[in-house]
Amino acid sequence: MSKSTIGVVGEFTDVNALTAAVAKVTDAGYQRWDVYTPYPVHGLDKTMKIKRSYLTYISFAGLLGGITTALGLQWWTGAVDYPLNIGGKQLFAWQFSVPIDFELSILGTALMTVMGLFHLCRLPTWYNKYQDDESFKKATDDTFVIAIDADDDRFSADNAQQFLRQLGAQNVHIVHAS
Amino acid sequence: MTAQHHEQVREPLVLGNPSLRDVTARIASIVESKISMKYLLTLGFTATMAGWGLFALYYTITTGIGVWGLNNPIGWGWDITNFVFWIGIGHAGTLISAILFLFRQKWRTAINRSAEAMTIFAVICALTMVLSHTGRPWLFYWLLPYPNQMQMWVNFRSPLAWDVFAVNTYFTVSALFWFVGLLPDLATLRNYVKSDLAKKIYGFFSFGWTGSTRSWHHYEIAYMILAGISTPLVLSVHSVVSFDFTVGILPGWHTTIFPPYFVAGAIFSGFAMVMTLLVICREILDLKQFITLKHLDNMNKIMLATGMMVGYAYILEFFIAWYSGSDWESWIFINRAFGDYAWAYWTMFTCNVVSPQVFWFASARRNIPLMFIISIFINIGMWFERFTIIATTLHHDFLPASWGYYSPTWVEISIFIGTFGIFLTLFLLFAKFVPVIAIAEVKSILPGAQPAHHHGHDHDHDSAHAAVPAVATEGGH
Amino acid sequence: MFSRKFDVGFKQAVAGIGAVAGIVFLIGYFGVRNEVLDVGYRPEQPVPFSHKLHAGDLQVSCQYCHGGAEVSAHSPVPTTQTCMNCHTLVKAESPKLKLVRESYETGNPLEWVRIHKVPDYVHFNHSRHIRAQIDCKSCHGPIEQMGVVSQAKPLTMGWCLDCHRKPEDHIVGARPISGIFTGKLHDMKHLKDSTYMYTPIKAQLGTPVALTEPAFGQWTTALPAHQVDGIPHPKVAGLGPENCSACHY
C-alpha cells in the first residue's frame, strides 16, 4: 500500500503570527483542520470560529440529574418506602435534604462535565493520525502547529503547503501515513 | 525578552524569563532524573511510617476498636480528630485550584498542582480514619443507600449521612479536577521524555490529549465549570463536617458559628500544610523559579487572614457562651480553657492565633525558615483545635458520675503516624512521577504567551489595539 | 502514543471486562442472597422424622411437640421423651427409631439440625405472633406436607417487614392443625383440665381477660392506618411495628 497523505502541517513559534495565520486559514474556508498548542491561546477558538461548546448543557443536565436523584432518594426512602419515626423528625423536609441535594448536584455536574469533556474531545483515544510527526510532537512543548487534514474538501497538498508558507509557517511539510 | 514594561509593575510570577521549552524541560527533568539514594531513603522512611500505621490499623480491624483509648463518655477521640484534621488539610488544594482560579489569581498556577495532590492524599487519610472508626470497615457500603434485603435505607436525617456524601463527593470531584488539569501536562511529558516506558505510561494516562484548539475550547469550559462547582463544594464540605458536631445538642458543639469557623480553620490548616511541603519541595526539586517568594508571601497573607478568623471564632465562642446565659454552655467553655484539657486549649490558641501574627511583617512573610516553623506550629495548633473541640465537650457530659478523661493508646498514635506516612509517601511518589507544576498553565501566564490582541472577527472593540504591532516575546528559540 | 490496534483493542477489552464485571455483579447481587441461598435449605436430620406423616396424615398438632411456642419467645424442639410418649407403643421396634430409643435410654438428646435461624441481634418472639393468631405456616411454610423439612421463607429483615407492613397479603390465619387458639382465652374453659396444657396458660383459662390483640382479619380492615403528628404510628396503626426496637432490643 502506497503511503497516503494525512495532511499538511506548519509550525509557528510566535503566538501573534499564529493568531494572524489562523484567521487567514479560517477565512480560506477550510473545514477539517486544527491548531495544536501547548497551552490554551486566548481567543484562538473564536478566531477559528469554533461553535460554542455545548458542554455547559451537559453539565447542567448533570446538575439536574444530581438534585433530582438527591430529592427523590431522600423523599422516597424516608417518606414512602420505609417511613420510620426518628426522634419525631419529619419523614421528609426540604430543609434537612439540602446538604445531600447540594452534594449530589455537584457530583452530578462534575461527573457529567468530565464525561462530556471526554466525549466532545474524543478522549481517551490512544491513537492519533499525526502521532509520529515531529512537529505534532512539539505542539505539546513549545511550538504551535497548524494542521490541515487531507480529508478536507478543499485539500490539495501543494496548495495547502504553499498557503501555510505564505502565512509564515516554518517547516511546512506533508504528513504521510506510516 | 524586551517588551516587558507592562509586566514590571508587578513582580513576575516566574523568575528568569524561561521560554516555553525551558518550562517543559525543567519539569520533565524532575521526572527524568535518576532516582537518588536520598529519595529512596526518604521514601523508605515514610513507607515505614505508613506500614507501621497500617499494621496498627490491621490490629484495630481484627481486634476491634476496643484497642483504642475510647471510653464511655468519650466515644470520639483521635479517630475523629484526625479525620477532621486531614479533611481540613485537603481544603487548601481546592481553594487554590478553584477559588483562586475564579478570582483570576494567576499566582495559583505554580502551586495548584501540588496543593490539589495534597487534597486528594489528605482525603485518603481522612477516609482511612473515618472508615476505621466505624469498627467494621468491611461493611462500609452500609453507609450508602442501596437496595438491600433488609429494606433499610440510610438515615438522611442524620448529619453523619450527609458527611458520607460530602466527603465522597469532595474526593471524587477533587480527583476529577486534578486529573483534568493533568491531562495536557501528561501529554507534554509523553512527547518530551526519552524513556520508552515513560512514554507509554504518560501516553496511556494522557488519554491521547493533543493540544488541539478544538479540544482546548471544551477543556477551558470544563475547567471553568469544575472550578465553579468546586468553590461552593469546598465551602460545603467542612460545613457539613461541622454539622456532625453542631446538629448534636451538646454544649460546646451546638453552635451556629461552627460552619464558617470550620471552613476558615480548614483553609488555614491546609495552607499551613501546603507551605510546609512546598518549602521543602522548592528546595529539593529546585523549583524556586516557579514557586517564588511572591507565592509564599501570598500564602502567608492568607494564613494570617484565616488565622485571625479562627482566632475571632475562638473568642466569640466564649462571648456567646456567656451571653447565652446557659449554665452548661458557659461551664463547658470555662472547662475548655481551664479544665483538664487546658493544656490542649492553650497549645491550640498559641499556635493558631499568636504565632501567625508575625506575618504582619513583610520581612517575616518572606523569611523561609520562619514561615516553615510557623506553618508547622499551625499544623500542630489546628490538630489540637479539633482535639479540644471533641475531647472537652465529651469528657464532661451531663452526667457527672460518668465524667472521664481520654488518652490515646499506642494503636491510635501509630495510626496517626501512619496517616502521615501514607500522605507523605503518596506525595513523594507524586513529586517524582507526576508534573508537580501545572506546565500548560504556567506557560499560559508567561509574558508574551498570549496574543497581544485577539484576531477574532467579532472583536470590534479590539480594532483600536490592532494598530499596535505584535510584540514578539517568545524568547529562547 | 499507541497504535490504532491498541486503541481499539484496549477499549474493547475495557468494555468486555466492564460487561463481565456487570454480569458478575448482577449474579452476585441477585444470586447471593437469602431468598436464593437459604430458601430450600434441607439438611439431613439424624432421624428421618416425617412431618408429612405426623402432622399431615396423623393430624398431630404442631403444639403437641413444639408446645410452649405460644407462651415463650422460642419454639422448643421436642425432647426425646415427647417422641417416646407414643413410640414406646407405636412402632416401638422400628429400626428408623434406633437413635431415638438410644437417646431415651442414655438421656443424651438427639442432635437435630437447626433450619430456621435469625441472627442473634434479632429477637423473634413466637408467642407474640401466635397470640396474634398467625399460623405457623406463615413463616415455616406447609410443614405438614414436608417429608423432610426445608426452609420455605428467606427469613430476611425485608421479608419480616413485608408482613409487618401488609399482613393481609402474607399471613395465613390460624388453622386447627397448628393448635393456635382462635378464640379468647376465657372461651377455653374445656382445656382447663387438659393434661397437655401448659400451666401458665391454664392459669389464665376461664378468667375473663380478653387478649389485647384484635382477632386476625381485624388487623388492617378494622383499624385504619393511624398517624400521630403526621407520622404513621405503628402501635395505633394495627400493623406489625416497624420501629427498630421492635425486633432489635
Mean pLDDT in residue range A26-40:
92
Is residue C26 less than 8 Å (CB to CB) from chain B?
no
Mean pLDDT in residue range B167-171:
95
Return the minimum-mean-pLDDT range out of B181-190, B306-315, C231-240: C231-240
Which residues of chain C make contact with A83, given a CB cutoff of 8 A? 231-232, 242
CA distance A20 to A6: 24
- The amino acid sitting at B314 is Y
pLDDT of B4 reads: 47
B310 pLDDT more than 50:
yes
pLDDT of C195 reads: 53
pLDDT of A109 reads: 96
Between residues 138 and 157 of chain C, which touch chain B (CB distance below 8 Å)?
154, 156-157
Q: Which residue of A has its CA nearest to B473?
A: A14
* Residue C239 pLDDT level (bands cut at 50, 70, 90): low
Closest C-alpha to A174, from A126, A133, A117: A133
Cis, bond preceding C224 (omega within 30 deg of 0): no
pLDDT of C162 reads: 87
pLDDT of C225 reads: 43
* Residue B470 pLDDT level (bands cut at 50, 70, 90): very low
- Domain residue ranges of chain B, discontinuous segments joined by +: 35-147+162-451+465-472
pLDDT of C113 reads: 94
* Residue C232 pLDDT level (bands cut at 50, 70, 90): very low
CA distance A40 to B138: 45
**For A103, which of B214, B236, B470 is closest by C-beta distance?**
B236
Mean pLDDT in residue range B78-90:
93
Q: Quick check: C1 and B151 CB within 8 A?
A: no
C64 pLDDT more than 90:
no
Q: Is-contact A169 A56, C-beta < 8 A?
A: no
What would the pLDDT profile of B360-383 be if each residue is shown by its tens digit? 999 999 999 999 999 999 999 999
Q: Which residue of C has its CA nearest to B200?
A: C1
Task: Compare C6 and B458 and report the one with higher pLDDT.
Answer: C6
CA distance C128 to C247: 11
Going by C-beta distance under 8 Å and a sequence separation of 6 or more, which residues neighbour residue B1? B17, B447, B448, B473, B475
Mean pLDDT in residue range A38-59:
93
Contacts of residues B144-151 at CB distance under 8 Å and 24 or more positions apart, as own/partner, are: B145/A73, B145/A77, B148/C158, B149/C33, B149/C34, B149/C35, B149/C154, B149/C156, B149/C157, B149/C158, B149/C159, B150/C156, B150/C157, B150/C158, B151/A81, B151/A82, B151/C157, B151/C158, B151/C161, B151/C162
Rounded to the nearest integer, the mean pLDDT of chain B is 88
Mean pLDDT in residue range A1-15:
83
Mean pLDDT in residue range B236-246:
93
Terminal Cα-to-Cα distance of chain A (whole angstroms): 11
Q: Is-contact B470 A17, C-beta < 8 A?
A: yes
What would the pLDDT profile of B70-83 be if each residue is shown by its tens digit? 988 899 999 999 99
Grid cell listed for C69: 411456642
Q: Which residue of B has its CA nearest to C158?
A: B150
Is residue A83 less than 8 Å (CB to CB) from chain C?
yes
Which residues of chain C make contact with A91, given a CB cutoff of 8 A? 230-231
CA distance B135 to B142: 13
B463 pLDDT more than 60:
no
B137 pLDDT more than 70:
yes
Is residue C241 less than 8 Å (CB to CB) from chain A?
no
Q: How far is B142 from chain C (nearest CA, A)?
A: 15
The rounded percent of chain A whose pLDDT value lies above 70 is: 98
Which residues of chain A make contact with C243, given a CB cutoff of 8 A? 84-85
What would the pLDDT profile of B175-232 be if each residue is shown by its tens digit? 999 999 999 999 999 999 999 999 999 999 999 999 999 999 999 999 999 999 999 9
Grid cell listed for C148: 423432610
Task: Compare B460 and B200 and report the one with higher pLDDT.
Answer: B200
Mean pLDDT in residue range B462-468:
38
Q: Is-contact B355 B377, C-beta < 8 A?
A: yes
What would the pLDDT profile of C27-39 be if each residue is shown by its tens digit? 998 888 888 888 9
Beta-strand (E) ranges in chain C?
A: 227-228, 231-232
Q: Quick check: A97 and B211 CB within 8 A?
A: no
What would the pLDDT profile of B28-47 be if each residue is shown by its tens digit? 998 888 888 989 999 999 99
* Residue C202 pLDDT level (bands cut at 50, 70, 90): low
pLDDT of C245 reads: 84
Q: For chain B, how long is the longest CA-to-CA vector?
A: 84
The CATH number of B35-147+162-451+465-472 is 1.20.1630.10
pLDDT of C182 reads: 58
Distances, alpha carbon A148 to alpha carbons A28, A154, A168, B335, C172, in Å: 12, 10, 15, 74, 78
**Chains in contact with chain B (at least 3 beta-carbon pairs closer than 8 A):** A, C
CA distance B213 to B219: 9
CA distance A151 to B308: 62
Say which residue the cell 413444639 belongs to.
C66
The rounded percent of chain B whose pLDDT value lies above 90 is: 69
Is residue A125 less than 8 Å (CB to CB) from chain C?
yes
Rounded to the nearest integer, the mean pLDDT of chain A is 91
Burial class (CB in 10 A: 0-12, 13-18, 19+), C80: buried
Grid cell listed for C140: 415455616
Mean pLDDT in residue range B262-267:
92
Say which residue the cell 456532625 belongs to.
B244
**For A83, which of C4, C11, C231 is closest by C-beta distance?**
C231
Q: Is-contact B468 B454, C-beta < 8 A?
A: no
Grid cell listed for B398: 451531663
Q: Which residues of C199-238 are buried (b: 16+ CB within 10 A; e: fewer)?
A: eebeeebeeeeeeeeeebeebbeeeeeeeeeebbebeebb
* Residue C234 pLDDT level (bands cut at 50, 70, 90): very low
pLDDT of A121 reads: 93
Grid cell listed for B80: 475523629
pLDDT of C243 reads: 80
**For B149, which of C1, C2, C157 is closest by C-beta distance?**
C157
pLDDT of B477 reads: 37
B467 pLDDT more than 60:
no
Burial class (CB in 10 A: 0-12, 13-18, 19+), B361: exposed
pTM value surpassing 0.90: no
Q: Is-contact C197 C66, C-beta < 8 A?
A: no
pLDDT of B475 reads: 38
